[in-house]
Amino acid sequence: MRSAVRTASVRPDEALLIGVTGLVLVAGLTIGSEGGLPYLVVALPIVLGISWWRPLYGYALLLGLVLLTEEFEIGTLASGIKPWLLQSLPIFRNLQDYTALGGVYANAVEAWIALLVAIWAVKGLLRGRLPLAPVPCPAAWLAALATIGTAFVLGVTSGGDFKPALWEVRALGYLLGLAWLVPQLVQRRQDVVVLVGVITVAFGAKALQGLYRYVVDLGMQIDLRETFMAHEDPVMFVPLFFLFLGLHHYKAEPLLRRLLLAATPLMFLALVFTQRRIAYIGLGLSAIVFMIELTRPARRTFVRLGLPLALVGAAYVAVFAGSASPLGRPIERFMQLFDATNTSNLYRVLEQENLRYTIQRSPWGIGFGHPYEMLRTLPDIGFALQEYIPHNEVLWVWVKTGTLGFILVMYFFCRLVAEGVWTYRYVSDPLLRVLAAIVPLAIVNQLIASYYELQLTYSRNMIFLGTLIGLLGPIRALGLPTLERTEHGRRRWRLLRGVG
């Protein structure tokens, strides 16, 4: 009897994966073990394997890690809070700081995103096709990208400092880059569920960590100027409250609803007690935006659920206003917005005068890497880039890119708001419909926060917002595959097909 010998063959993609993983391990073992490098050596093969198997899962892993970590040391973090493992992960530090890669100003997050782009491209080429999904609102996106890029190049080439310029544009680069990358990675409706689930779990864990710090580490005693979470965390929590309400109305995605049911109370308590004034304002204004964009049946549900909560909130303010207890502290913190003698408010007034003065003197923009003009001397707040990056980052965009550039960048955000509202009105899938409504709300909430706080230069919330913006493309592709070109919908169809 003749015996058949079967030879195992290795596919090209498997061989590439094995080879690159081996090179990563060898490089990690030879570079050294100081600083954050051990994390890098252990994580890279895992990241590479997951990303190659399914790039969307590789991105979901990155997204969850970003939302769970801290980007910076929190200057107003209350004393007595104990750090935890993920706070020490150096994913936002330049690789040259803890590897032998001297002169490399990229960090692990950027390397991870570049890896995902490379894997997506290689796998597409191996299949013989490289389909490009359109970015949401491509003309507006391209205008914003060209504006930021031009302001960076002109700023650096006209004598601006490269390092401050890099820190200025880094987060906006994530926002614009992910608006393009996410549509390439999201292929199925289940991919959307995965990303939203990761965001929910990460924020729920972050809120739980914050409440543990507040209750256990601090004993619910905290100074009005201190906090127990990063400044951007409560701002990012806001859209998820309305996501939960929307999913409840449309009876969509039971698993996500259960996750949000567990996470949103934790996030709300953390938002209230972490004493970020701008988060309180963003929550209220986001509720108004959400109510305006909803259809009538959904608006009735929102009012029916929201009115009792508003009455409870009003009763809480009436009972605890002026109280010295921990429950009265958030109210006292909010009322500081109207205190003309508050040092934080005074600083922002002086800073805004400097920004307006710079706009008047340089209406075409000063470019990134240049400090803005100092009509009024600002007190030292211990921030190395204080003269480059102000709290008001809406006017900061105007200062850096000029009047025309400011109009183009704001047009990008406004165009996305309009696209999200229209998509919500036309999509029939409940989950995709609610997510489409959340994107405009998240943009408005972020711009409100950015007018008062350092937000557009924070990486974590720009990655979060960039993910939501990027999801608009797959939402349209999955939720509106066969829109009829009726008299009512002919102009809308052009938007669906990717006209800016």
Question: Which residue from 336, 335, 317, 337 is spatially nearest to 327, judged by alpha carbons?
Answer: 317
Neighbours of 357 (CB within 10 A): 16
Tell me the HSE value of 420 on the side-chain side, using a 13 A CA sphere: 27
- What pLDDT is stored for residue 302 in this prediction? 87
- What pLDDT is stored for residue 274 in this prediction? 85
Whether 39 and 97 have beta carbons less than 8 Å apart is answered as no
- What pLDDT is stored for residue 13 in this prediction? 52
Measured CA to CA, the distance from residue 500 to residue 496 in angstroms comes to 10
Which residues are 107's β-sheet partners?
A: 94
Per-residue pLDDT of the chain (500 residues), as tens digits, is: 444 444 445 555 555 555 555 555 555 444 444 455 555 566 677 777 888 888 999 999 899 989 988 887 665 565 666 666 566 677 888 877 777 677 778 888 998 999 999 999 998 888 888 888 999 999 999 999 999 999 999 999 999 999 999 999 999 999 999 999 999 999 999 999 999 999 999 999 999 988 888 888 878 787 767 778 888 999 999 999 999 999 999 998 999 999 999 999 999 999 988 878 888 899 999 999 999 999 888 888 888 888 888 888 888 888 888 777 777 778 777 777 676 677 878 888 899 999 999 999 999 999 999 999 998 888 888 888 889 999 999 999 999 999 999 999 999 999 999 999 999 988 889 999 999 999 999 999 999 999 988 889 999 999 999 999 999 999 988 887 644 444 444 444 444 443 33
The kind and range of the H/E element at 55 are helix 55-68
For residue 328, count CB atoms less than 10 angstroms from its CB and return exposed for 0-12, middle for 13-18, buried for 19 or more.
middle
- What pLDDT is stored for residue 477 in this prediction? 87
204: which 2 tokens? 């729920």
Predicted TM-score (pTM) of this structure: 0.87
Whether 443 and 416 have beta carbons less than 8 Å apart is answered as yes
Q: What is the DSSP string of 424-447?
A: HHH--SHHHHHHHHHHHHHHHHHH
Give the CA angle between residues 79, 85, 89 to the nearest 5°. 105
Q: What are phi and psi of 376, to 5 degrees?
A: -115, 135
- What pLDDT is stored for residue 377 in this prediction? 85
